[in-house]
Structure 1
């Protein structure tokens, strides 16, 4: 089979179609390697003898010249077999293969020196000339190493030529150890669709330097040279060793010149053999992500280790991530409740595979069904309850306000009261920045839920610590803007934005859930914890970046259209209401919001009223009572603005009396 390939390859060479056929030889066979090494041994003997003959140096035992050479070959080949110098695949040779050649040839030299010494003692003169042995050693080692390096480069060159037209020509950013390791991994992985074409750096002292056979380009010189840019297809960033500002700068320069932007993990994150496979396109999440948050794992672990934990809404974006993170702390049981059948089943399959040692209980249930919930609470003695179940989509809830009451208010009320009744240690509610000065039913219903949870803290007989966490949008959550934009871009546009000036805060799902777990260990109960969301992001800028990262030009390849604010939607979200103050905590990313409180009797009475209105599906009455519970709720771009006008007229009438 191999001989046929060799004949085919050389036949193709004769006929001119050499590149494709020769590269079909995956490696040089072992027997051929050892044959070439033996030829190198013979040639090294010949060269060393020629050298000494030229100097008119006479060797010992000339009459046994043939026997001496056979002995040398036998000793050298024996050590080749011992150290298996022929076993490695030559086109993947490393220093270790060179080291084996040194060991083999060095052992040969030492053995011959011992033989020489023995013949001197027995026969009075050495079998070989000592300088001849050392010269032979140097020549043979150099030629074996040279043979391997030439073969390695030959295969690499042919493979590069074969796939040059289809491979992505990348410029690796940086010339440090990590960048060089990544570049070397690209060169050694010919089956991947990338080809190293050069290096980019901020430094200006490396313009004449060559690294791994490729040029190093200064950033300013590179991006100013249109002819040079055409020799590349993409810029490859190593995200973990670069700051957000550096990533944004390189991304902007590359996209403006029509280059793709790729990212890669570092060698510490992945084995070198898998490194090239980890290369992917830079995503908008990489630019919005912030520095890792410091989590006090010991405190969080002690709250969960060997405890029974309940997560409502456990199949959702936030709930499922809470379950994943809690699973790392080895609780005795995690009960996951959700009313969405398919997502709950998919989560079950994922978690059982990822955490085979962890005990889970997956329960299909609606939190508005108090009898069903009480059966669950009575069965398990929960230590921690994470309440993440909620309806959250603003426009849909604006159309169906009674549904928000059933889940966001009644559901929260059921879970919170049962937590108190069954002496749960800590109840942690996941809320939203839309609950602050709400302009829509969804946000107002979450604020009403916050008020109910807070009011339970100081009720008679309560031993549960009721904690609320409040944060903004999370990247990649179900129905969020980034997956929505990505789908629109994949379809060719247009990308739809409600308003050119709309801004939002963003946080990654894991980051948000880490802070939820951290906040759940803090305080005495009754607090609302708000998270540092960083700087707000303009949605129009977000859309433009996503379009560019996808390789398109905004408003040329992909149109951006403005469709107007949706019912209840704000231009910007707030984490704190205007009449609150914040108190810092020992964690720099978490603050306590001092919002106005309501007594339990008052909020309980109003919640009963609004639930009755929701059962009757009386939309106006539902929203009217909601505005009573949450006085700062002023509808925006909604049919319920009429209720605000009536209240204003009534208030003005009272003031004029």
Structure 2
């Protein structure tokens, strides 16, 4: 059994690639193999040199036998190989530096052997090595080592050219990033991309060449000019293009059946070896990207640094990103709370890896359980709460309105009341634009949560500052449309859009969370902050562009089907109600919404009625009471529309 186990282990190591040997699919020669091959070459050089010298009628000294001389030479060369690390470079990318290392190693070995030779001669009157043998051996050894590296490099280049189908590409822009990328492409052995030239937006660049490649002016005749060049793709390399120009360029390129690639700016490159991994086909997220935000780090640090921070819903898309960003401000302790076990564990591992100096406590809990939450507040002196725990799936909450009440409304009530009782300094709640003039249970439940924290702020002159942040869809979040479309395209379609005219606002997850942290510095208590989401995006246009970016054609390769609005869904989202007004803040991306606040006693009465309806186990009764609390809640495409109809009779 032991022998069988040993054989299996050897097979794993040498075949399955569970260590750096990877014999099954070599990406590089391990260092010990390089050293071993070099020593074999030195050995072969020794005996070939001996053969040449013997044929020249030379007589060897007898201080050491021939085999002893060979063994001594091997040890000396091995020492010099380690001294100059001749084995450390990637053989297939050998450069002048690697050749220089071989020269230095061979020269040092020769000097050492000559020194030994003459030292022994002065001490004992005879030499150890024949000088002609050492000179011939040096010449043959250097030639062999150099030829080995050259052969590997040529072989790698040959097989790379044979196996890879490269793209003939133009690099967009004439700047430091684009030129650095061009140099990397031409000097590395990356055969995925064959540089054909550069794209310039300035007329005067047409008269010069860079790295021997032409510069082509981008304009109305651009695609006619490049047609004879058989270009198959464009690479956008950290080019400071406006979002409008980038989108226009991508759309035109796709219309001419060109692929579009993107590579980050040069400061994000790890090394040249990673170049092929850095160049990616451009994604829809790159075309919906948002300007870089400038945060007031000092102000954010004031309320997060050395504080105990609780984040609810920490395993979700927004909660996990808030956890990452809060960690950058060195809290005293970060409490990450969620009821989802596996994602919470994954987040814990990630935070410990990237922020090893931060103290974390993972809390598996549900915001519906007030007693459990109270124990957490008792055990920790919490200063800041980021409340991101919520059910957010619109059609599912239409089917399970009681769950929306338990989590989105009552869960918020539990946390807000405990924040007051335990003198939390700041309570930042993450809300949604679906809370504005809601047409579904999910949006109405979030609006009810907003109303409660605003009312609580006015009712109790509390130490706690309640701050609400409201924004729209976030790119790449769990359940969002972009990952869903990607999956549909990967499966061959069809891509399903609920309505031809439906539009949505989008933000990136990091941007949304940065604004949440920033809004936390501004709140005096009771405000609702809304974020500038930029222009809305038509979902039908989004679907078409994603299909084209995949190298396919809408309707021809991937069908698009209109399936009708889902329960509770509306054509467009809003950030303000009809009765709301907005005020600017000192941050251009954040506004304050002024809403009328319901008196606390009246609001508590409504909550009591909602809680009573929960006990009746009737969804209609629960939704009816939510509509009493949130009168602007008018159901759309939902079974609960009948409640609105009856109310008007």
Contact 2:496–2:562 (CA under 8 A) maintained in structure 1: yes
Which runs of structure 2 are paired with 1:480-559 in the superposition (5 Å)? 480-559=480-559
Q: Secondary structure at the match of 2:541?
A: helix
* Distance in 2 (alpha carbons) for counterparts of 1:378 and 1:599: 29
Deviation, structure 1 residue 97: 9.8
Shifted more, 342-351 versus 374-383: the winner is 342-351
| Alpha-carbon separation, structure 1, partners of 2:94 and 2:446 | 63
Tell me the secondary structure at the aligned position of residue 430 of structure 1. Answer: strand
Preserved CA contact (<8 Å) 2:495 2:561: yes
Q: Distance in 1 between matches of 2:211 and 2:163?
A: 18
In the TM superposition, what is the alpha-carbon distance from 1:277 to its structure 2 partner? 2.4
Alpha-carbon displacement from aligned partner over 1:255-292 (angstroms, at most 9, x marks no partner): 11111111001112224423442111111111111211
Partner of 1:175: 174
In structure 2, stretches of 5+ residues that fail to align are 1-28, 40-83, 102-145
Q: Which of the pair has more CA radius of gyration?
A: 1
CA distance in 2 between counterparts of 1:648 and 1:329 reads: 53
1 CA distance for matches of 2:160 and 2:465? Answer: 67
Check the 8 A contact 2:426/2:464 in 1, yes or no.
Answer: yes
CA pair 240-373 structure 1, distance change in 2 beyond 3 A:
farther
> 1:52-91 counterparts in 2 under 5 A?
none
TM-score (norm 1): 0.75
Query: After superposition, where does 1:120-159 map in structure 2 within 5 Å?
Result: 159=158
Whole-Å separation in 2 of the counterparts to 1:159 and 1:216: 29
Structure 1: runs of 5 or more not aligned: 1-23, 32-83, 101-146, 650-657
Cα deviation digits, residues 541-578 of structure 1 (max 9, x gap):
11111111111111111111000011111100000001
Tell me what 1:19 maps to.
Answer: none
Question: Counterparts of 2:156 and 2:355 in 1: how far apart (Å)?
Answer: 46
- Counterpart-to-counterpart distance in 2, 1:500 and 1:477: 23
The Cα shift of 1:602 comes to 1.1
8 Å Cα contact 1:189-1:276 kept in structure 2? no
How far is 1:30 from its partner?
A: 11
CA drift at 1:192: 5.7
TM-aligned CA deviation for residue 211 of structure 1: 2.4
Trace 1:578-657 onto structure 2 (pairs within 5 A): 578-649=578-649
Do the aligned residues in 1 keep the contact of 2:264 with 2:278 (CA within 8 Å)? yes
1:296 aligns with 2:296: yes
Corresponding residue of 2:357: 357
Aligned to 1:216: 215
> What is the deviation of 1:458?
2.1
| Equivalent pairs, count | 533
Matched, 1:261 2:260: yes
Q: Distance in 1 between matches of 2:191 and 2:574?
A: 46
Structure 1 residue 615, shift from structure 2 partner:
3.4
Structure 2 residue aligned with 1:124: none
| Conserved? CA contact 2:178–2:238, under 8 Å | no
Matched, 1:247 2:267: no
CA shift digits 1:500-556 (9 cap, x unpaired): 100000000000000000101112100000000010000011111111111111111
CA deviations over 1:186-226 (Å, ceiling 9, x no partner): 12221463332322223344446432233333334441257
CA root-mean-square deviation = 3.4
C-alpha distance in 1, partners of 2:157/2:541? 44
CA contact (8 A) 1:164 1:195 kept: no
**Does the CA contact (< 8 Å) of 1:428 and 1:466 recur in 2?**
yes
Partners of 2:623 and 2:371 in 1: how far apart? 27
Secondary structure, aligned partner of 2:522: coil
| 1:356–1:270 CA distance, 2 compared to 1 (3 A) | same
Partner of 1:59: none
1:486-505 Cα offsets, whole Å, 9 max, x none, are 10010010000000100000
1:270 aligns with 2:269: yes
1:392-425 per-residue CA deviation (whole Å, 9 max, x = no partner) reads 0100000111110000001000000000000000
2:381 alignment partner in structure 1: 381
- Alignment partner, residue 451 of structure 1: 451
Q: 1:259 to 1:164 in 2, by over 3 A?
A: farther
Does the 8 Å contact 1:185/1:272 carry over to 2?
no
Instruction: Tell me the residue number matched to 2:133.
Output: none
Q: CA deviation at 1:630?
A: 0.5
Q: Deviations over 1:18-54 (max 9, x none)?
A: xxxxxx9xx9x999xxxxxxxxxxxxxxxxxxxxxxx
Seen in structure 2, the aligned counterparts of structure 1 residues 95 and 581 have a Cα distance that, compared at 3 Å, is farther
Asked whether the 8 Å contact 1:182–1:276 carries over to 2, the reply is no
8 Å CA contact retained: 1:403, 1:614: no
Paired residues of 2:173 and 2:239 also in contact (CA < 8 A): no
Alignment CA distance shift 1:245-1:159 (3 Å)? farther
- C-alpha deviations, 1:583-636, integer Å up to 9, x for none? 111111111000121111111121122122123321111111111100111111
Q: How does 1:459-478 map to 2 (within 5 A)?
A: 459-478=459-478
Q: Helix, strand or coil for the counterpart of 1:521? A: helix
Which residue is 1:61 aligned to?
Answer: none
Structure-1 separation of matches of 2:375 and 2:191: 55
Is the CA contact 1:264–1:276 (under 8 Å) kept in the aligned structure 2?
Answer: no
